Amino acid sequence: MSQVPSTKPVVYVIALPIGNLGDITERALATLRMVDVLACEDTRMTRKLLSHFQISDKKLVSYHNHGEREKAHHLLDQISAQAESLGLVSDAGTPCLSDPGFHIIQAAHERGIRVIPIPGASSFLTLISAAGLPSDRILFVGFLPRKGTELRKEMESWREGAASIVFFESALRIQKTLAMLGEVYPEAELCIGRELTKLHEEIRRMSVSEAMTWAEKHPCLKGELAVMVGKPAADHAPGPDWTAIEIQCRAWFAEGKTHKAVLTHFLAQGIPKKDLYRRLLEWLPGPF
């Protein structure tokens, strides 16, 4: 299927395979051959793919998170002045989904430059289709915060959406993330995908406790993982309102109440001691 030419300048957002090169679409190949310039997350990765499909003599420019906004305007100035077409690609999957590209697309719309999506593979959609978890309402949150406090707040915010959650995580941090998930949602059901569409593809549907054991004992866990967490059941009891507790604790500390008095007060209300103790240390560092 050939790509219908468009009035230039124009930006094509081109989805590439996430692993198995057989997943590339005919329309994506036609567009890769047609565009004047390709903006790439990593030109080395893109050259390998183009070589595989025997696409040569293509102008490639590097486009990544560092200096993305400035590079976006430079590229759009160039294709506007020379009436060219620009193809945007990431190393794998669909650009702009936790990958560079947002600033190009935003600036293109602001300038009135047409943006044409060339749809295809996406790792988080691939996982959703195979997870067997509720998919009528999905919240995709990309990469999670690294700091413990921010990570917990992010996870606790999911209660409000009544949706299944999809996120990406590094294999180096997955154990820490699963441990936090187990604290916030101890009954969670989830699905983890690794090496999706590749030779050693693994898709595991598990409870959060089983996932923690799986990650701890996995013999070759590396790279990037996609994770889907099923939305809480309708009767899921809400956890403590940590924001309100933090405000009250800080106020009491300012009034001179002791750590022990504050701790005793909230323990009597059934607040988990481990969580409360750790948070009090964060709010007012120092030993009890």
Which pLDDT value is given to residue 254?
A: 82
With residue 11 as reference, give the H or E element that holds it.
strand 10-14
Instruction: Give domain limits for the chain.
Output: 10-121, 124-229, 242-283
CATH homologous superfamily of 124-229 equals: Tetrapyrrole methylase, C-terminal domain (3.30.950.10)
Q: What is the pLDDT of residues 153-185, one digit of tens each?
A: 999 999 888 899 999 999 999 999 999 999 999
Number of Cβ within a 10 Å radius of residue 188: 22
Give pLDDT tens digits for 92-115: 999 998 888 999 999 999 999 999
b (16+ CB within 10 A) / e for 189-220:
bbbbbbbbbeeeeebebbebeebbebbeebee
Residues of the chain with pLDDT under 50: 2, 234-236, 285, 288
pLDDT value, residue 98:
84
Q: What is the CATH number of domain 10-121?
A: 3.40.1010.10
* pLDDT for res 234: 46
Count of positions (residues) in the chain: 288
Amino acid identity, residue 136? D
Q: What is the pLDDT of residue 288?
A: 45
> In sequence order, which residues have a C-beta less than 8 Å from that of residue 194 and are 6 or more positions away?
171, 201, 202, 221, 223, 225, 226
In the DSSP assignment, the letter for residue 88 is E
pLDDT value of position 171: 94
